[in-house]
């Protein structure tokens, strides 16, 4: 009887904790959206964290950790693991919030001067992307040198403090924590990524040479800040008109059985606005009742591609079962939701989809598909090399990689050199070592991206087999996707593959996309 009472006490306290966490997340989300829309120059993270500080005590984190470690039921244990992972992150976030806020404010207020005109640092990306002259792109990039150096210092401080706090929970380092909490065999994933990089090297070299020539770039002298221009594909922008983006999205969703105008639980912030955050995102504030999609369009094909990606996220959350367990709605491994965003985004690599929705000439269509293959492969190789670097970073493994991406007995001088070398080797674009901690996906989000990248062609194969090569015009395919979406983040990509009768998650489907 006593044990049952203790169990009930813990359950009641957990439910109260989750209700309070939801209130915190809502308030923080609204603040973040206001900041991202450019309506505020400063995030009041510290103020919000202070208001809810009672939620982020170490004893609460330790309590959830204890419950998680004792739980034997598979999915109840996963629920508690998700909650523990998130609560530990919030506990650390509360401690680091003054420094994080200071960093965010520094970036928001930073400016560079170009031709006598003040430019917000966060708008430099778009400026470089639209500059056809490589020497001018370099001039613009170099103007932000001091800002990048200061950003590096902030990021280094955050890394150091974060690592100390993670160790306080009994982990040797962040990688050990992530391996446990994400139930991921990163060594196995690393082998798959190395294989992808090796198997796609030959076709990548050919495509890189081809599109460098078209962009008037020397194959041997491409910088990382040239990538956005190289991947702009301006030639094709005439087919992707800004005024058509909403009508095309409505048509696409309608074919799958979704009425855009009745998606009342999704708010779209997709008009061009000054001071708006350049990076697009989907923010599920209350799942499934209130989802936000934000994008600051630059014009052309990339806007369509980005919006479709974020809509994939938005629909996943918007059609999550309302009564699903709290943890599976708000937490979990993001490889699951990335599957659906990749599925939608990668339609822009699909001949049938492009032919149906856009009026490219035959000559331009073939060239467009070749360009998009290059676009996809360059980004895949970038994220693959990022993961290789991030795993070595966490392990403090400075052993150099050879041309086959195997460790050697030689060592890099330091982590900045390792970052620059690995990414340059895989992408053929010269990376600036100053970004070794700022161009970094905390929590190994790059691994979740790559899991989704590998599973997306498997899921697409299932859709094409069961609903036709034009599955995106089939309402039954839409119903099938709704069935997947209702489970939120409950299942991992490899589990979804098993559920639909596909082979275990592996790199072979993805490699076949290119070779």
The pLDDT tens digits for 314-331 are: 999 999 999 999 999 999
Q: Is residue 52 part of a domain?
A: yes
Q: What is the domain extent for residue 462?
A: 187-512
User: At 268, which CATH number?
Assistant: 1.10.1370.30
Q: Is residue 119 part of a domain?
A: no
Separation CA 497–CA 476 (nearest Å)? 19
Choosing from 154, 181, 208, the residue where a domain stops is 181
Q: How confident is the model at residue 46 (pLDDT cuts 50, 70, 90)?
A: confident
Query: Given this model, what pLDDT does residue 4 score?
Result: 45
Contact 24, 52 (CB under 8 A): yes
Residue 5: pLDDT above 50? no
Residue 467: pLDDT above 50? yes
Q: What is the pLDDT of residues 95-108, one digit of tens each?
A: 999 999 899 889 98
C-alpha closest to that of 304 among 276, 275, 339, 280: 280
Interacting residues of 2 by C-beta distance below 8 A, sequence separation 6+: none
Q: What is the pLDDT of residues 271-321, one digit of tens each?
A: 988 888 888 999 999 999 999 999 998 889 999 999 999 999 999 999 999
Query: Given this model, what pLDDT does residue 463 score?
Result: 98
Q: What is the pLDDT of residues 135-171, one digit of tens each?
A: 999 999 999 999 999 999 999 999 999 999 999 999 9
Q: Is residue 116 part of a domain?
A: no
Query: Given this model, what pLDDT does residue 41 score?
Result: 82
Q: How confident is the model at residue 6 (pLDDT cuts 50, 70, 90)?
A: very low
Question: What total of structural domains would you count in the chain?
Answer: 2
176/283 same-domain check: no
Choosing from 135, 160, 181, the residue where a domain stops is 181
Q: How confident is the model at residue 1 (pLDDT cuts 50, 70, 90)?
A: very low
408/454 same-domain check: yes
Q: Is residue 128 part of a domain?
A: no
Query: Given this model, what pLDDT does residue 194 score?
Result: 97
Over the chain, what is the mean pLDDT? 93
Query: Given this model, what pLDDT does residue 451 score?
Result: 95
299/367 same-domain check: yes
Contact 429, 141 (CB under 8 A): no
Query: Given this model, what pLDDT does residue 7 score?
Result: 46
Residue 3: pLDDT above 80? no
Q: Is residue 121 part of a domain?
A: no
Q: What is the pLDDT of residues 52-70, one digit of tens each?
A: 999 989 999 999 999 999 9
- Give rounded-to-5 percent helix, strand, coil for the chain: 70, 5, 25
Query: Given this model, what pLDDT does residue 278 score?
Result: 81
pTM above 0.85, yes or no: yes
Query: Given this model, what pLDDT does residue 273 score?
Result: 87
Interacting residues of 129 by C-beta distance below 8 A, sequence separation 6+: 228, 229, 232, 298
Which range (113-117, 480-484, 485-489) has the least confidence? 113-117
Q: Is residue 130 part of a domain?
A: no
Q: Is residue 393 part of a domain?
A: yes
Query: Given this model, what pLDDT does residue 126 score?
Result: 84
74/201 same-domain check: no
Q: Is residue 135 part of a domain?
A: no
269/233 same-domain check: yes
Residue 258: pLDDT above 80? yes
497/348 same-domain check: yes
164/230 same-domain check: no
Report percent pLDDT > 90 for the chain. Answer: 86
Query: Given this model, what pLDDT does residue 160 score?
Result: 95
Query: Given this model, what pLDDT does residue 11 score?
Result: 54
159/192 same-domain check: no
332/402 same-domain check: yes
Give the torsion sign (CA, 437, 441, 444, 446): negative
DSSP class of residue 223 equals B
200/174 same-domain check: no
195/177 same-domain check: no
100/226 same-domain check: no
């Amino acid at each position: 009887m006593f044990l049952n009472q203790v169990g009930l006490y813990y359950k009641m306290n957990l439910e109260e904790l989750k209700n309070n966490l939801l209130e915190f997340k809502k308030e923080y989300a609204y603040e973040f959206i206001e900041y991202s829309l450019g309506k505020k120059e400063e995030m009041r993270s510290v103020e919000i964290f202070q208001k809810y500080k009672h939620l982020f005590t170490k004893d609460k984190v330790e309590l959830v950790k204890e419950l998680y470690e004792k739980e034997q039921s598979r999915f109840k244990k996963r629920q508690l693991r998700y909650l523990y992972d998130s609560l530990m992150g919030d506990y650390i976030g509360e401690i680091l919030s003054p420094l994080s806020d200071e960093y965010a404010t520094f970036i928001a207020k930073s400016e560079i001067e170009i031709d006598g005109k003040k430019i917000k640092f966060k708008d430099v990306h778009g400026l470089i992307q639209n500059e056809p002259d490589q020497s001018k792109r370099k001039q613009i990039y170099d103007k932000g040198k001091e800002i990048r150096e200061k950003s590096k210092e902030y990021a280094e401080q955050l890394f150091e403090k974060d690592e100390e706090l993670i160790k306080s929970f009994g982990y040797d380092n962040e990688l050990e924590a992530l391996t446990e909490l994400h139930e991921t065999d990163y060594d196995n994933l690393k082998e798959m990524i190395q294989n992808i990089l090796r198997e796609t090297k030959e076709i990548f070299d050919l495509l890189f040479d081809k599109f460098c020539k078209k962009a008037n770039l020397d194959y041997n002298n491409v910088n990382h800040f040239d990538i956005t221009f190289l991947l702009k594909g301006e030639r094709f922008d005439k087919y992707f008109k800004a005024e058509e983006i909403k009508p095309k999205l409505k048509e696409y969703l309608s074919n799958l059985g979704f009425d855009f105008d009745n998606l009342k639980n999704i708010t779209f912030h997709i008009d061009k606005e000054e001071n708006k955050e350049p990076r697009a995102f989907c923010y599920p504030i209350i799942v499934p009742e209130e989802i936000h999609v934000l994008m600051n369009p630059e014009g052309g094909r990339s806007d369509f591609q980005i919006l479709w990606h974020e809509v994939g996220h938005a629909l996943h959350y918007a059609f999550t079962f309302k009564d699903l367990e709290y943890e599976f709605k708000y937490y979990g491994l993001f490889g699951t939701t990335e599957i659906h965003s990749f599925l939608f985004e990668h339609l822009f690599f699909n001949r049938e989809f492009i032919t149906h929705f856009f009026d490219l000439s035959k000559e331009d269509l073939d060239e467009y598909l070749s360009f998009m293959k290059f676009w996809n492969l360059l980004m895949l190789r970038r994220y693959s090399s990022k993961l290789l670097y991030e795993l070595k970073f966490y392990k403090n493994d400075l052993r150099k990689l050879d041309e086959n991406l195997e460790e050697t007995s030689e060592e890099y001088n330091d982590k900045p050199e390792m970052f620059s070398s690995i990414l340059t080797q895989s992408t053929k674009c010269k990376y600036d070592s100053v970004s070794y901690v700022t161009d970094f996906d905390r929590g190994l989000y790059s691994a979740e991206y790559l899991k989704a990248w590998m599973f997306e062609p498997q899921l697409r194969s299932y859709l094409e087999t069961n609903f036709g090569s034009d599955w995106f015009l089939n309402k039954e395919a839409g119903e099938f996707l709704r069935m997947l979406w209702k489970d939120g983040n409950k299942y991992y990509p490899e589990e979804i593959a098993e559920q639909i009768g596909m082979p275990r998650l592996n790199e072979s489907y993805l490699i076949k996309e290119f070779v």
